[in-house]
Structure 1
Amino acid sequence: MRAKRSSGGSPTVPSSLTKGQNGALATNDIIVTVALTAAADLSALLVKADGKVRSDNDFVFFNQPTAPGARLHDGALSLALDQVPGDIDQVRTVITLADTAATFGGSAAPTARVADAAGNLLYEYRIDGLSSESIVIAVEIYRRGDAWKVRAVGQGYAGGFAALVTDHGVSVDDEPAETPTVRTVPDEAKLSLEKRQKLNLRKRVVAEVLHKGGAAGVRARVIVVIDKTGSMNRLYKQRVVHRVVERMVPVATQIDDDGQIEPYLYAKSFARLPDIAVHEVEQWSDTYLHLNGVHEGIDYRSIGGLNDEIPIMDHIISTVRRGDANPTLVLFFTDGGFSKRAEITRLIQQASSLPAFWQFIGLGNANYGVLIQLDEMDGRVVDNAGFFAVDDIDRIDDTELYRRLLSEFPDWLRAARGAGVTG
Structure 2
Amino acid sequence: MPISLEKIERDAPRLIDLAKKADISILKANLTNHQAKVALCLDISGSMSFLYSSGKIQTLAEKILALGCRFDDNGSIDIFLFGQNPHRVGEMTLGNFQDFIPNIEQQHRLEAGTYYGKVMKMIRKFYFPEGNGDSRDSPFAADEPIYVMFVTDGATSDEEETQNQLKWSSFEPIFWQFMGIGKPRKDVSGEGLSGFVGKALATDFSFLEKLDEMKGYTDNATFFNVEDPESISDDELYDILMAEYPTWVKFAYSKKLLQ
Q: How would you bin the TM-score normalised by the shorter chain?
A: 0.7 to 0.9
> 1:232-264: CA deviations, max 9, x gaps?
011112111111111111101101231101001
The one-letter amino acid of 1:216's match is T
Match of 2:136 in 1: none
Tell me the secondary structure at the aligned position of residue 276 of structure 1: strand
> 1:191-246: CA deviations, max 9, x gaps?
3xxxx2x5222212211211211211111111101100001011112111111111
Give the counterpart of 1:377 among 214, 227, 234: 214
Tell me the secondary structure at the aligned position of residue 333 of structure 1: strand
- Distance in 2, Cα, partners of 1:233 & 1:259: 28
Quick check: 2:44–2:83 contact (8 Å CA) kept in 1? yes
Match of 1:364 in 2: 182
Within-5 A mapping of 1:268-347: 268-288=84-104, 290=105, 295=107, 300-301=108-109, 304-321=111-128, 322-347=140-165
- Distance in 1, Cα, partners of 2:208 & 2:116: 12
TM-score (norm 2): 0.81
Match of 2:196 in 1: none
Alpha-carbon spacing, 1:238–1:354, altered in 2? closer, same or farther (3 Å): same
Q: CA deviation at 1:390?
A: 0.1
- Distance in 2, Cα, partners of 1:235 & 1:204: 26
- Report 1 or 2 for greater relative contact order, CA contacts < 8 Å, sequence distance ≥ 6: 2
Q: CA deviation at 1:188?
A: 4.5
Quick check: 2:43–2:82 contact (8 Å CA) kept in 1? yes
Within-5 A mapping of 1:403-418: 403-418=239-254
Match of 1:386 in 2: 222
- Distance in 1, Cα, partners of 2:89 & 2:11: 22
TM-score (norm 1): 0.51
- Distance in 2, Cα, partners of 1:282 & 1:419: 39
- The higher radius of gyration belongs to 1
- Distance in 2, Cα, partners of 1:317 & 1:222: 13
Aligned residues: 228
Match of 2:52 in 1: 236
Where structure 2 has 5 or more consecutive residues not aligned to the other structure, the ranges are: 129-139, 184-202
Q: CA deviation at 1:184?
A: 2.9
User: CA RMSD, aligned part only?
Assistant: 2.0
- Distance in 1, Cα, partners of 2:73 & 2:217: 26
Quick check: 1:223–1:329 contact (8 Å CA) kept in 2? yes
Q: Larger helix proportion, structure 1 or 2? A: 2
- Distance in 2, Cα, partners of 1:200 & 1:328: 23
Tell me the secondary structure at the aligned position of residue 394 of structure 1: coil
Q: CA deviation at 1:187?
A: 5.8
- Distance in 2, Cα, partners of 1:260 & 1:247: 12
The one-letter amino acid of 2:169's match is A
Quick check: 1:327–1:355 contact (8 Å CA) kept in 2? yes
Where structure 1 has 5 or more consecutive residues not aligned to the other structure, the ranges are: 1-180
The one-letter amino acid of 1:190's match is D
Within-5 A mapping of 1:9-408: 183-184=4-5, 186=7, 188-191=9-12, 196=13, 198-288=14-104, 290=105, 295=107, 300-301=108-109, 304-321=111-128, 322-365=140-183, 366-378=203-215, 380-408=216-244
Tell me the secondary structure at the aligned position of residue 199 of structure 1: helix
Alignment identity in percent? 26
Quick check: 1:270–1:312 contact (8 Å CA) kept in 2? yes
- Distance in 2, Cα, partners of 1:354 & 1:320: 10
Tell me the secondary structure at the aligned position of residue 395 of structure 1: coil
Q: CA deviation at 1:182?
A: 8.6
Q: Larger strand proportion, structure 1 or 2? A: 1
Q: CA deviation at 1:320?
A: 3.3
Q: CA deviation at 1:370?
A: 2.0
Quick check: 1:332–1:360 contact (8 Å CA) kept in 2? yes
- Distance in 2, Cα, partners of 1:374 & 1:310: 12
Q: CA deviation at 1:185?
A: 7.1
